[in-house]
Structure 1
Amino acid sequence: MAKVSIIMPLYKSGNYCFEAIESVLNQSYQDWELILVDDASGDSTLHIIKEKYNDKRILTYELEKNSGPAVARNHALSKAHGRYIAFLDSDDLWRPKKLEKQLKFMISNDIEFSYTAYEKINYKGEHMGFVGVPDSVNYNVLLKTCVIGCLTAIYDSAKLGKVNMPEISKRQDFALWLKLLKKTKFAYGIPEPLAIYRVHSDGISFNKRKAAIYTWKVYREVEGFSVLKSTYYFFHYAIRGLIRAKWPTLARKLGVMHK
């Protein structure tokens, strides 16, 4: 197989980032580099990481001013040497065989872009349920509902190139998946939960109003859709969100259950 570049932005991440880093170190697949970019946190986390981990695969960088997660991720991407690009936020975790299973799935099926199901936990680490994913999505389907969790996505830069996240304040990952799906027809999902997403009370997945606002911004400002076209896709986004909230069993059957 080939090297994986793992992108991890840091911002005042001392409470959880060591667990995230350990989940990378514990991967059964070991040909990776972990690129940490501190977004001008102004704390000692990056210094502690440098002191704690004597591993040449862990690369650390620091931005001069706070610029947001998209800028931090894009800076990490500019330093990446791996063929496969993966994402893990500093408060999330991977299962030990995440990379091994996902890369095997991609290589054996000649897949350029993939994602997996994942588990949800709260800030205390308590289980909150599982999030299933459809077998595949294309650009038009993803516009209606983003089923790809950032902590699960991997793409092949040898085939798709290095693709930057649009530098918007929220929903950068959704916007990136859309960019990638303009380069490849489908992204393919693995139904096994290979990652663990930590839910915070102030996170965008918790605040549905904020999620809706930034989803609209992706349609209008990033994709450049007309008001009419944006309304069409936003209607689907809202209806599927209602189904997830009110009828989770139906949502799982329809493949629209996600964070």
Structure 2
Amino acid sequence: MNPAGAAGRVSVVMPVYNAAATVEASMRSVLAQTHADVELVVVDDGSRDDSWERVRRIADGDARVVALRQPNGGVAAARNTGIEAASGEYIAFLDSDDRWAPAKLETQLEWMRRQDARVAYAAYERIDEDGRRLSLVQPPAAVDYRDMLKSNRIGNLTGIYHRSLGDARFRRIGHEDYVFWLEMVRRAGRAVCAPSAEPLAHYLVRAGSLSADKRRAAGWQWRIYREVEGLGLLSSGWYFAHYTLNALRKRR
């Protein structure tokens, strides 16, 4: 059997921390997928608002939701808890303030089947807190490990992998999403972008978010090259130059 076949359960891991204003819309965007065999694993990471009550309210009405709660340990720990609890053949991720288009999973699974791929991603739009589009992120048709070293081409809210690759763990480090997908693409050999007329996901950009701190992000990137991937000084400098150029292009 082709391990990247279109049929199969997708476990969607959603970490939650003080997300009462957005978590219900994010959850419903998963439960409204046209690919019906979905398991939504929601991990409340010690929220201090009423996020857990909102999660439980939806979970009580939909058996596809697995609602878990743990002391605050950060987003990496919450995602790892979700992966461990997941029962699906595929794993995908969505944060509790982002949303998916209804055909997101169906589109990706079909493209993975056609391309015989075990990792896929998609285009997504960045929106502000008023719902206005800031930019469209349109990644390349396919990437390999070296491409990923030049730039993170996989928005975490669009990534999906087949569990025949094994489950990696999220590390508590800046750019933990990037480190995770670097590893999954290295294992798979390549990843493919599912084509679609419209973006398949919507990423919320909050004012003052950590991801908006470009200087800090650059420091994280350099550390990943040197300490996580073990690249030499010259190789790190070469890939860092590509990273900088690609970061500028993404925001045009």
1:167 matches 2:204: no
1:100 matches 2:106: yes
Query: Taking structure 1 as reference, are residues 42 and 205 closer, same or farther at Cα in structure 2, changes over 3 Å only?
Result: closer
Query: Taking structure 1 as reference, are residues 19 and 163 closer, same or farther at Cα in structure 2, changes over 3 Å only?
Result: same
Query: What does residue 117 of structure 1 align with?
Result: 123
List alignment gaps of at least 5 residues for structure 1.
Answer: 249-259
Query: What does residue 157 of structure 2 align with?
Result: 151
1:35 is paired with a residue whose SS is strand
Query: What does residue 58 of structure 1 align with?
Result: 65
Query: What does residue 3 of structure 2 align with?
Result: none
| CA distance in 1 between partners of 2:48 and 2:227 (Å) | 31
List alignment gaps of at least 5 residues for structure 2.
Answer: 1-6
TM-score normalised by L of structure 2: 0.91
Number of paired residues?
243
1:235 is paired with a residue whose SS is helix
Residues 106-156 of structure 1: CA deviation (Å, up to 9, x unaligned): 123211000000112111212223211100111111101111100000000
Answer yes or no: is the 8 Å Cα contact 1:150–1:173 preserved in 2.
yes
| CA distance in 1 between partners of 2:143 and 2:53 (Å) | 40
* Aligned pairs for 1:92-241 within 5 A: 92-157=98-163, 159-168=164-173, 170-192=174-196, 193-241=199-247
Letter in 2 for 1:56: A
Residues 80-124 of structure 1: CA deviation (Å, up to 9, x unaligned): 100010010111000011111111111232110000001121112
Q: How large is the RMSD of aligned CA atoms in angstroms?
A: 1.5
1:70 is paired with a residue whose SS is helix
| CA distance in 1 between partners of 2:45 and 2:230 (Å) | 28
Residues 145-173 of structure 1: CA deviation (Å, up to 9, x unaligned): 1111000000000x2012222232x2111
- Give how far 1:238 is off: 1.3
TM-score normalised by L of structure 1: 0.89
Query: Taking structure 1 as reference, are residues 43 and 3 closer, same or farther at Cα in structure 2, changes over 3 Å only?
Result: same
- Give how far 1:198 is off: 0.8
Moved more, 135-144 or 225-234: 225-234
Query: Taking structure 1 as reference, are residues 79 and 174 closer, same or farther at Cα in structure 2, changes over 3 Å only?
Result: same
